[in-house]
Amino acid sequence: MMIVQYPSRPEWAALQQRAAQQQAQDVEQRVQQIFEDVRQRGDAALLDYAQQFDRADLSAAGGLRVGPEELAAAAAQVPSELQTAIRQAHANILRFHQAQVPAEERVETMPGVSCWRRAVPVQRVGLYIPGGTAPLFSTLLMLGVPAKLAGCPQIVLCTPPQQNGSVNPVILFTAQLLGITTIVKAGGAQAVAALSGGTASVPAVDKIFGPGNRYVTAAKQLATRYGVAIDMPAGPSEVLVIADESAKPAFVAADLLSQAEHGPDSQVILLSDSLSMLEQTKAEVERQLRDLPRAEVAAQALTESRAILLETPQEMLDFSNEYAPEHLILAVRNPEKLAEDVTNAGSVFLGHLTPEAVGDYASGTNHTLPTNGYARNYSGVSLDSFLKKITFQRLTAEGLLNVGPVVETMAEAEGLRAHARAVTLRLESLAGGTQE
């Protein structure tokens, strides 16, 4: 990691740059071609892409959909210790998201004028779960729990097949735990294309959730042009750690590496007001890196990462708020106090005993978070992500008499005579003795 000492504020912008954030034109063009192919050839295109990208012959493996036998057999392939851990994580995530269930409250804005808002589930949702080198069954928990809790009637899970045509058994075990049975063996941009338009085996959905590589990210952005919503723009994972001299270099190094091992384009930033802390943490990173199974991936991510020496905790927080990290760790003496001024972050981890990894798996909060600075204007996935809020209103005769003249005056001022007339006719009807 590169150590930068006391950069001036004008220099911050360059230090806050993410690596390779702009989608290359060739990626966008390729994704567009995949979309057109899937829309024209449907399942046949998905089978070809599975052969091309995943080296899986799904025609010989029973087709694109996971059958009930494969789903039922998954649990036997998952170690009991892992099953127990997944069940506990599921319980914690469910408990946290249950607290987000909105109450329906009626408000009388004027006598006789009642307004309320009702939460209605998105009817058809697609969950994209990467397979690859690290099948993210934890992300399935993070998306599946609020989707089921919201009451979404149709949930479609897409995940890449393994070379033998099967789906990773841990993903299937987690899907079974959640009660998700519509599971499609499709990955990459082609899965997003199928979810956005539908095929014979893949139901079309209204909103797509889940992370992925740059092709998946570009595909999700393209899906919005077809009237399909997405959870948020998502890019490579990132963490920013604010550490004072009370932090433990070994802990901080482990936190940095836990993010760096996600992928070669992940980014980690360490801020401190102690040069000794930066130097000790850098040495710890180099030591711990040697023991990681994904050391090569993490090492590549570290080439775009930085350790920055700043003057004060407030200056460090100012830097963080400008950067707007996906994950923010406050490894300082008084994290609660510093956290009061956090304005831009996806999820915040307070104190020396709260690693970012607990949020990734089992504390209960959602780990599907905005990256690439989108924490300035996006929240992470929550129960609300799977709900639509529809407003209702009803007026009594008293209500129309109270609010009607207000509407007439405003509508006439805007030159919208039909708006005014819609009220006037009803007021005249009331004056003539008609109540409904």
What is the pLDDT, as a whole number, of residue 141?
A: 98
Contact 171, 140 (CB under 8 A): yes
Residues in the chain: 436
List residues forming the annotated binding site: 128, 190, 213, 237, 259, 262, 327, 360, 414, 419
In degrees, rounded to 5, the angle at the alpha carbon of residue 364 between the alpha carbons of residues 294 and 374 is 70
Out of 41-45, 57-61, 315-319, 367-371, least confident range = 57-61
The model's pLDDT over 36-49, given as tens digits with 9 standing for 90+, comes to 999 999 999 999 99
What are the start-end ranges of the H helices in 99-239? 137-150, 169-178, 188-197, 214-223
List residues forming the annotated binding site for Zn(2+): 259, 262, 360, 419
Is the per-residue pLDDT at 434 higher than 90? no
Average pLDDT over residues 8-19: 93
Is the per-residue pLDDT at 436 higher than 80? no
Out of 15-29, 60-74, 137-151, least confident range = 15-29
Q: Give the sheet arrangement for strand 106-110, strand by strand.
A: 106-110, 113-121, 387-395
- Average predicted confidence (pLDDT) for the chain: 95
φ/ψ of 389, rounded to 5, equals -110, 115
φ/ψ of 274, rounded to 5, equals -125, 115
| 25-230 to CATH, choices 3.40.50.12780, 3.40.50.720, 3.40.50.1980, 1.10.150.120 | 3.40.50.1980
DSSP 153: S
Q: How many CA atoms lie within 13 A of 154 on its CB side?
A: 13
Q: Are strands 207-209 and 229-230 parallel, antiparallel or unpaired?
A: parallel
Is the per-residue pLDDT at 22 higher than 60? no
Provide the residue ranges of all domains of the chain, joining segments of one domain with +: 25-230, 235-379, 396-431
- Chain centroid to CA 236: how far? 12
What's the pLDDT band for 24 if we cut at 50, 70, 90? low
Pull the structure tokens for residue 260: 């760096």
Domain pair 25-230 / 235-379, same fold: yes
List residues forming the annotated binding site for substrate: 237, 259, 262, 327, 360, 414, 419
- Residue whose pair of structure tokens reads 């399942």 in the numeric block: 43
Q: Any catalytic annotation for residue 327? A: yes
List residues forming the annotated binding site for NAD(+): 128, 190, 213
User: In a 10 Å sphere around its CB, with 0-12 CB exposed, 13-18 middle and 19+ buried, how is residue 395 labelled?
Assistant: middle
Nearest to 184 by CA among 122, 136, 128, 230: 128
Out of 158-167, 229-238, 326-335, 356-365, least confident range = 229-238
What is the pLDDT, as a whole number, of residue 435?
A: 64
**Conformation bin of residue 37: beta by default, left when phi > 0, alpha when psi is -120 to 50:** alpha
CA 329 to CA 238: how far, in whole Å?
Answer: 11
Contact 276, 247 (CB under 8 A): no
What's the pLDDT band for 236 if we cut at 50, 70, 90? confident
Out of 22-31, 106-115, 139-148, 235-244, least confident range = 22-31
The model's pLDDT over 401-432, given as tens digits with 9 standing for 90+, comes to 999 999 999 999 999 999 999 999 999 999 98
Residues of the chain above pLDDT 70, percent = 97
Which of 261, 284, 304, 327 is flagged as catalytic? 327
Pull the structure tokens for residue 313: 């905790």
Q: Any catalytic annotation for residue 97? A: no
Which of 326, 336, 352, 436 is flagged as catalytic? 326
Is 235-379 a domain of CATH 3.40.50.2300? no
What is the pLDDT, as a whole number, of residue 240?
A: 98
Contact 276, 249 (CB under 8 A): no
The model's pLDDT over 253-262, given as tens digits with 9 standing for 90+, comes to 999 999 999 8
